[in-house]
Structure 1
Amino acid sequence: MNDKYIVYFISKTKKKMTEFIERELKEEELDDLVPSYGNILTVLYDNDGKLSMKEIGELIGKDKSTITVLINKLSKLGYVQKEKCQEDRRVTYIVLTEKGKSIEGKFNDISKKVYLTAYKNFSKEEKDIFLNLLKKMNNNFDLNK
């Protein structure tokens, strides 16, 4: 295969993956959610449902303005709420609401389907190689280098 098509296939795969997630969200009656909320919900589920805005940004690799927009939308939908830190009022925590906690099972099911579909017919070794190559390519685009 001609390597000039690599970026094309990465882009095409991302589009298909996004469409897959959107279909799964709709099937699970979570059509008020969009795939871009996934990383935020994931890190909250993995961290007892409470993180500062700064921690979320560091964990998902997004800037403050992007995180703020996504958090505001999730808050408006009732999945998270903001809490000011009592010790340092400059710090804002993002906390899962009961609604946010209640969808964790469905959310994890969708994540598992995405994972299983993405890696169908991959050996363990192929998954490891693929991940390492993607990381390497991703690092090539770091602006600080």
Structure 2
Amino acid sequence: MPPRKPMNDEPCPVARCVGLIGDRWSLLIVRDAFDGTRRFGDFQRSLGVARNILSDRLHKLVQAGILETQAASDGSAYQEYVLTAKGENLFPIVVALRQWGERHLFERGERHSVLVDKRTGKPIPRMAPQAKDGAVLLPAATEVRKVS
């Protein structure tokens, strides 16, 4: 099998993003970080992932600037993983995946979690790409242009 092209040489933004955070564990770590998980042991308990895999993914997310480590907020000897501004910019991606899953992967009435606005307690509105005038953009109304 030919060697894989490094993702940082890939001209497609989607391919680069998937190369960085597209595996199951990385995305679920980011999801849990948005939900307030900060410690290695808490990630492990939540995800049920092997220690070596979790350690590898956390290291990669730190190296990529998505997470950073800091001293534990309770003053203990532990370190915590927190989202950076770059990591917080992944929020729309996590929300889009969540909303797609809610819409297509659950039977009517099947139990699942829902993302709500803390101020209102109501589920957040569906996300959709919009044109400058606010109109919803459908796939047929867009095209990819290569930037030189």
The CA deviation at 1:64 is 2.3
Deviations 1:45-95 (A, max 9, x none): 011xx5111111111122322211110111121110112337222x12011
TM-score, reference length from structure 1: 0.57
What's the RMSD between the two structures over aligned residues?
A: 2.4
Q: Could you say which residue in structure 1 is the equivalent of 2:7? A: none
The structure, 1 or 2, with the larger RCO (C-alpha pairs under 8 Å, 6+ apart) is: 1
Matched, 1:57 2:44: yes
- Partners in 2 of 1:99 and 1:53 — Cα distance? 20
User: What are the equivalent positions in structure 2 for 1:14-29 lying under 5 Å apart?
Assistant: 26=14
Q: Which runs of 4+ in 1 moved over 2 A?
A: 29-32, 84-89
TM-score, reference length from structure 2: 0.56
Matched, 1:118 2:105: yes
Using the aligned pairs only, state the percent identity: 11
The CA deviation at 1:111 is 2.2
**More helix by proportion, 1 or 2?**
1
- Partners in 2 of 1:69 and 1:105 — Cα distance? 24
Q: Which residues of structure 1 form unaligned runs of 5+? A: 1-24, 129-145
Corresponding residue pairs, total: 96
Q: Could you say which residue in structure 2 is the equivalent of 1:79? A: 66
- Partners in 1 of 2:47 and 2:40 — Cα distance? 11
Output the amino acid matched with 1:110. Answer: L
Q: Which residues of structure 2 form unaligned runs of 5+? A: 1-12, 112-148
